[in-house]
Structure 1
Amino acid sequence: MTISSTPEGVSVAPRHMHFDIADDLKTLWHGNDTFRTAFFNALSLQFPDGEQQFINAVRLYRDKVDDPKLKEEIRGFIGQEALHSREHKHYNEALKARGYNIDAIDERFRRHMAWVGNLPPSRQLAGTCGAEHYTAVLANAILRHPEWMEGATPDMEKLWRWHAIEETEHKSVAFDVYRHCVGNERLRRIVFLFVTWNFFKYTFLNTCSLLKTDGKLWSLGTWIGGINFLWGKPGVLRKCMPDFLAYFRKGFHPWQQDNRELIEKNLNELELKPSAR
């Protein structure tokens, strides 16, 4: 019985990338804009521990999956997320070297991750599906709207687009495991509410922490520009809202948004090879 719903032409396997971005992170790397730089840096701060939790949650159910295709994709998912975690650890260490209090930010998020890690396995996996939905929607947006990264340094742009490509490739893996092993639609939606609160909470808190160190926490101009970026024009979060909310639909599945052409287009532009099984 085939459980995997990853479509033809998409494979889930890690690319062994490394990005030398320490010098970029000494600057306002996103178009010399304080808020945009802080926002993307704030997202990065959640990835090492968050993606390790995704790996842990899927591993709890790995032995219950007998579909060879999905089992192979689970291995690829773990490999991709492990490499994302590694690269974002390097990213975050460079932020620490710049003078940000990354230890305090990490401690705040790790307390939350420790709490998540003590939840029942079904809730951990449901939470992973919800969080993976946020990363998949943001990944789609980054790939579909390259102008949102306009002004970013070349290496930083490549890192975020590489991450977005692989988040898109594996966006249904945890979901397929959940659908096969748990299958509780009510739990899936309820847990997504908690994931939504925590995603926005920690992104906001991290952004504020970084802006405080930059001396811009109380800068009206910085916040006006940031609110415009997120909710006005181009409206990064505003334009993502319909896709975020699609998760509540009955019968929702990540590949209902079939964006295979974006994977191929961005792989070609970045001169990256398709992942091989």
Structure 2
Amino acid sequence: MAISTTPSGVSVAPRHLEFDVSQDLKTDWYGNDAFRTAFFNALSLQFPDGEQQFINAVRLYRERIDDPKLKQEIRGFIGQEALHSREHRAYNDALKARGYDIDAIDRRFMKHMKWVSRLSASRQLAGTCGAEHYTAVLANAILSHPEWMAGATPNMRRLWRWHAIEETEHKSVAFDVYQHCIGNERLRRIVFLFVTYHFFKFTFLNTCSLLKADGKLWSLKTWLGGMNFLWGKPGVIRRCLPDFLAYLRKGFQPWQQDNRALLERSLEDLEEMPAQPG
């Protein structure tokens, strides 16, 4: 019985790319804007341990999957997430080399991730589905609005585009495993509310930690610019809200937002973006 909902023409397979962004991360790489740089860096700080947890949660159920297509996609999902974790660990190491207290930020997040790992398998997988929805929606926004990253250095634009492409490709893999093995709509929605709280909490705390180290935590100009970026114009979070909330609909499925054409264009753009020296 076919249970994969990944549409035809979408391949879930890791790309073995490497990104040397160590020089970029010595600067405010996003157009010399402290808030925008800190916001994306704050997201990166959650990825290595977060994506390893996604892998662990899916692995708990993969022996129960018989659909050959979904089994292959699970392998691709694990490969993609493992490479994301590797590249963002190097990214975060470069932030540490810049002088940020990344160890303290990691300890704060790892305490949460240890709590997550003690939850039941079904809750761990439901949490993975919720978190994957957030990454998929943000990925779609980044790919749909390349102008949002226009101020970033070429290296960083390439890294974030690559990550966004692969998050889009595998956006239904964990969800399909959940629907087949658990399928509890109420649990899926309730866990999503917890994921929402923790996603925004740690993104906010990480952003504050980085801005504090930069001496910009109490800068009104920095925060006004940041709030405009997230909620005003362009309004990154504001524009994503309808797609975030779509997860709470009964019968939601990730590929109801069919962005295959966008994915194809983005892949072409990625191939045309030359790797830059670090």
TM-score tier (shorter): over 0.9
TM-score, with normalisation over the residues of structure 1? 0.98
Structure 1, residues 21-73: CA drift from partner, whole Å, max 9, x if none? Answer: 00000000001100000000000000000000000000000000000000000
Query: CA separation in 1, counterparts of 2:14 and 2:77?
Result: 8
What SS class does the counterpart of residue 21 from structure 1 fall into?
A: coil
Instruction: Measure, in 2, the Cα distance between the counterparts of 1:67 and 1:111.
Output: 36
* TM-score between both structures, scaled by the size of structure 2: 0.97
Unaligned runs of 5+ in 1: 273-277
Paired position in structure 1 for 2:230: 230
- Gap runs ≥5 in structure 2: 273-278
**Could you say which residue in structure 1 is the equivalent of 2:62?**
62
Q: CA deviation at 1:270?
A: 1.6
Listed one character per residue, the Cα deviations across residues 71-109 of structure 1 (whole Å, up to 9, x for unaligned) are 000000000000000000000000000000000000000
Distance 2:261 2:40 in 1: 25
| Corresponding residue number in structure 1 for 2:19 | 19
Partner of 1:218: 218
Question: How does 1:107-186 map onto structure 2 within 5 Å?
Answer: 107-186=107-186
Question: Distance between the aligned counterparts of 2:261 and 2:35, measured in 1?
Answer: 31
- After TM superposition, the runs of 4+ consecutive aligned structure 1 residues lying more than 2 A away are none
Aligned to 2:47: 47
Spell out, residue by residue over 1:252-277, the C-alpha distance to the aligned partner (whole angstroms, 9 max, x if none). Answer: 000000001111101111217xxxxx
- Aligned-pair distance for 1:219? 0.2
Residues 126-166 of structure 1: CA deviation (Å, up to 9, x unaligned):
00000000000000000000011011000100000000000
Match of 1:255 in 2: 255
CA distance in 1, matches of 2:183, 2:20: 42
SS of the residue aligned with 1:9?
coil
Instruction: After TM superposition, give the deviation of residue 178 of structure 1 in Å.
Output: 0.0
Question: What number of residue pairs does the alignment pair up?
Answer: 273
Name the CA distance, whole Å, in 1 between partners of 2:113 and 2:182: 21
Give the aligned partner of residue 4 of structure 1. 4
Q: Distance in 1 between matches of 2:189 and 2:120?
A: 16
Shift of 1:237: 0.0
Q: Which letter maps to 2:242?
A: P
User: What is the CA-CA distance between 1:124 and the residue it aligns to?
Assistant: 0.1
Over aligned residues, Cα RMSD in angstroms?
0.9
Letter in 1 for 2:84: H
Deviations 1:223-243 (A, max 9, x none): 000000000000000000000
| Distance apart, 1:249 and its partner CA | 0.2
1:72 corresponds to: 72
Corresponding residue for 2:276? none
